[in-house]
Amino acid sequence: MTFGEVVRTERTKKGLTQEKLSELLGVSSQAVSKWETTGCYPDAELLVPLANALDVSLDSLFRNGQVTERDASLMVFSLMQKEEERDGGKPFELIRRLCWGTIGATFGIFEPTPAVDGMSSVVSDDGFTEASCEPYAPFFSVFPEPENGWGEAVGDGEELRSVFTALGDKSVMKALLFLLTKESQYLFEPALLTKELGIDAGELDAVMSGLRTLGMVSGTPVVINGETRKLYYYHRNEKVIPLLLFAKFVRYNEIFHLQSDNRRKPLIRP
C-alpha cells in the first residue's frame, strides 16, 4: 500500500471524513485529499499528529518496508523547503542531522540528534563515512567507493603532492589563513603580506606560487601612474576548509560514536 492508501484506509477505519481529519490536524481538506490521491506527503511536523489522529504508529503509517527511496526523498525535500523558509533556518545543519540519522540506521538504531562531541567513523568494503560532532568543527562526509576504486583519482600522488607542499610551507599557510578572512575578489599586492603578516619580501614569489597552486589567487597587471604593477585577486575556494579540517582530525583518536570497521579490502587496490 502507498502512503496515501494507508491514510485513506486508516481514516475510514476511524470513521473520519477528510474534513474531520483536516480539522484535527489544522490543515485544509484539500491537503488531506492530496495525501491520499496524488502521492504528496504532509510536512514532517504533521507526521506524528497524523499518526496520533489515526491511532497508528509511524511504522504502521508507512507500513514499515513500504517506504521507497523516492518517498524518503520527497520527505527530505519537504523538510528542506520548510527550513529554507523558516526565519533563522539552518539548512546545512538540517542536512547534517539527517545524515547522522542515516548513519544511525546502519547500526539499526534511531539516532535523530548528533552527539555533542567526538567523531563517527563507519568503514566497509563499499566506502566509508567520517563525521565530526565537535561543536567547533561539525561536518559529515561520505565516500562511496567508485567502481574502479580510489586509486584512479589519487594516481601516483604527484599531482596531489604539490598541494601538500604548498600547505606545508609556513608562510603560505599564514597567507592562506589571512585571505580566508577576506571576501572573494579581494584585490591586493603581495607586499601587503609583508606588511600584515611579516612575511619576508624575498619569500613573496614562492608564497604567491603556493597560493596559485591552491587555486586561491590569480594575478593581473595594472598600470598605475605609468608604472605596471602586478596585483592579485583572491578567489574564495571553500574546498580548502574540508582539507584543513581533515588534516586536523587525521590523527584523532579520542571520543567516537557510531563507529565500525568492517572493511577487508585495501583502501587503494594494487
The structure's pTM equals 0.77
Strands 119-124 and 256-261: parallel
Q: pLDDT at position 42, please?
A: 87
CB 43 within 8 A of CB 83: no
In the numeric block, the cell 568492517 is attached to 262
What confidence tens digit (pLDDT) does each residue in 40-60 have? 888 877 888 898 899 988 777
Q: What is the pLDDT confidence band of residue 196, given thresholds at 50, 70 and 90?
A: very high
For helices 158-167 and 170-179, what crossing angle results, to 10°?
80
The helix (H) or strand (E) run that includes residue 258 is strand 256-261
CA 71 remoteness from chain centre: 21
CB 210 within 8 A of CB 199: no
Q: pLDDT at position 63, please?
A: 67
What confidence tens digit (pLDDT) does each residue in 56-111 have? 887 777 765 566 777 778 778 888 988 998 899 999 999 999 999 999 988 888 88
Which domains can be identified in the chain, with CATH numbers? 3-82 (1.10.260.40), 91-145+247-261 (no CATH), 158-237 (1.10.10.10)
Per the DSSP assignment, residues forming a β-bridge with 127 are 124, 144
Cell numbers at 38, concatenated:
496524488
